[in-house]
Amino acid sequence: MIQFDEKSHTYTLDGVELPSVTHICRFLAYDYKSDKPWLAETAARRGTAVHEACALIDYGETPEETPEIAGYLKAYRRFLKDYRPDWELIEHPMGNLEFGYAGTLDRYGTLYDGRSCILDIKTGQLHGPSLRAQLTAYQELMPPWHSTPDYLYALKLSKDGTYELTEVRYDLELLKICLFMNQAVERKNHA
């Protein structure tokens, strides 16, 4: 069973530490080598707070709504009202030794019209290549007892209370490139 250590943000499966999907896809990230790392840290903290609050909403609880995240939660509630999802997996850690990576899937389930999907919640800019690799990685990690999703989506929540649901294309070749680059960097670092 996959173990996730929140403090160190590491995944372990059968005693083997696995890199995260985010780490593997870092080469495609917009702010990979940012000259303003404090902005990325602020965005990451906000994203984490929004993810945690959205999970509480999905579990029927009432999250603490700070002014910093209130608009994002309003946007998420609008999405829930419009699409009425039936989530089967919420913030679900997954990993595979054969694939050599792990990650936490935001959402997997069915929308009101019967579309099954993997959905990733975003609070910042959407970057196509990074999203394609990330959501493809999650689809590849899906447990075999769940059907392959019909769609991959990024749900961008905005501070002003609006949202944007964007379909993301499955891109196994791009994921393989990220895995290759990650392995090459790891070999270089351990040489």
Mean pLDDT of 2-21: 90
| 168 three-class SS | coil
Which tokens is 111 given? 């929308």
pLDDT for position 38? 45
Q: Where are the domains of the chain?
A: 2-189
pLDDT for position 35? 54
pTM for the model stands at 0.91
Strands (DSSP E) along the chain, which ranges?
Answer: 2-5, 10-13, 16-18, 86-96, 101-110, 116-122, 151-157, 163-167
pLDDT for position 40? 62
Instruction: Output 140 or 28, whichever has higher pLDDT.
Output: 140
Q: Cα angle at 27 between 105 and 125, to 5 degrees? A: 60
Instruction: Output 7 or 103, whichever has higher pLDDT.
Output: 103
What average pLDDT does the structure give for the chain? Answer: 91
Percent of the chain with pLDDT over 90: 72
pLDDT for position 41? 74
Q: Which DSSP symbol is given to 128?
A: H
Instruction: Output 43 or 120, whichever has higher pLDDT.
Output: 120
- Hey, what CATH topology would domain 2-189 get? Lambda Exonuclease; Chain A (3.90.320)
pLDDT for position 144? 86
What are the tens digits of pLDDT across the range 40-87?
677 778 989 999 999 999 999 999 999 999 999 999 999 999 999 999
pLDDT for position 43? 77
174 by Cβ neighbours in 10 Å (0-12 / 13-18 / 19+) ranks as buried
